[in-house]
Amino acid sequence: MSLEWITPKTNWAKTDIFAYTDYNRIRNNLLYLNDLLNERYPETAQSLDLGNALAFSSDYSPSQFNAFEDALESFTRVGLDANIGSKKTYKGNDPFIGYGELNRLESCCLRWFDKLDVPYIEHVLPFIFGNAGQISLTISNNKVNINFFGGNQQNRRHYIWHETDNTYENLGDDIPFDFFSGQAVTELLSTERVNGILLMGGGTLGTPNNNIVTWNGSRYISSMRTLPYATQAFSVVLGNISLVSAINPIFIMGGSGNHYSTDNIRAFYMDDRGDMSSWRRLPDLPFDMIDGHAVFVNRTIYAITDNDNKLYEWQNRTTWVQKALLPHKNVGGKLGIVDNSIYYFGGDSSDLNYYKLNNNSFEIVSRLPYPFQYGSICYCDNRIFIAGGIDNNIKNKMYEIVIF
């Protein structure tokens, strides 16, 4: 964009004098915001006619400020939540715009800037997803399909968002078993072939199961495999820990079961070839992994736990080592991967944090509109998708975060 953002003046007082430079700042920022909206939401793109910038000797007219009001109102076309206040219409004999309206105009610009000056796109879902569900993606013709499994106490519901035409497909209660707090992961047999999405565990609230099925893009395929224990609210990682093998083992960690009192620290892995029913026990975790989250990057596993602020790394495939402290206490947050880099979302904050592997530290790089707690996450290339959560503002939303 050719325009640059100018910090708004949001502390107008009754004694302040409105100058042509103030007019030009508001005009500039409205045009900047409209360009940003057109970039993020091209399907709703529109142009703004706010006339020319003013010179020192220019006069003001009601139509100029009405155009500012119309511009603010037009931004709501993309469906984002933003309080723009009560739109005002100016007429020829009205008093000149007051300091209260100037504060409203410039504060509204600042709120829109805060919403848009982060690399995300907000998708409003036609259903309530909430928490306890999972999203997972497949790719068709270079376009993403996001599958929504369960959520909002609808333990067998299945929706698909098709990026190609931005539509949502409702498959109804299609999941073959109750899926409350289960896990879904795209299963790769090679770097070029997607076998499908594995759905594992879940059940109903407080009653977990050990089921595994595969969604192949058109139907569910029953599996001879089962989890080594019935569990929900656990973590699953699919990744290759070998430098030479093409095997993609599945790791499961923790969760809330009803068989062993130590289910929350149990860990297993299973090769995705050979004996499909053979799970191998790993040493118990040194931390509680109920509602935690784990990712696979650089041939190792990183994990965060719930209601704690620690990041752990599985070093040398033998030992869990505590790494950097999270910027704040994790409450239902998630980890995402882009280009072998780790990003931390949510918890009890709306911050988006980047984990620097080289110096073992976190950096806040952006923020989300609301805290992201107990939602679901998936990622592909330079995009991370997060959906749902316990906050009422995001139960029916999905955010597409673009990492540059």
Percent of the chain at pLDDT exceeding 90: 49
pLDDT at 139: 84
pTM: 0.72
What's at 313, amino acid-wise?
A: E
- Taking CB atoms within 8 Å and a gap of at least 24, the contacts of 319-328 are 320/285, 320/286, 320/287, 323/360, 324/355, 324/360, 324/361, 324/362, 326/353, 326/362, 327/351, 327/353, 327/362, 327/364
Which residues touch 226 (CB under 8 Å, ≥6 apart)?
210, 211, 212, 277
Q: What are phi and psi of 187, to 5 degrees?
A: -100, 120
Share of the chain above pLDDT 70, in %: 88
Four-point Cα dihedral 366, 395, 111, 30, nearest 10 = 100
pLDDT of residue 195: 62
Per residue in 68-81, pLDDT (tens digit) is 999 998 988 766 65
Per-residue confidence at 322, pLDDT binned at 50, 70, 90? Answer: very high
CA distance 16 to 268: 68
By residue count, the chain amounts to 404
Tell me the fold of 120-402.
Neuraminidase (2.120.10)
State how far the Cα of 61 lies from the Cα of 105, in Å rounded to an integer: 17
- pLDDT above 80 (res 276): no
CA distances from 188 to 29, 148, 301 (A): 46, 19, 17
Q: Which residue has the higher pLDDT, 273 or 21?
A: 21
Q: What is the pLDDT of residue 163?
A: 92
| DSSP secondary structure code for residue 98 in this structure | P
> Per-domain residue ranges for the chain?
20-116, 120-402
Nearest in space to 232 (alpha carbons), one of 147, 279, 292, 307: 292
Pairing mode, strands 183-188 and 207-208: unpaired
The rounded distance, in Å, linking the Cα atoms of 248 and 310 is 27
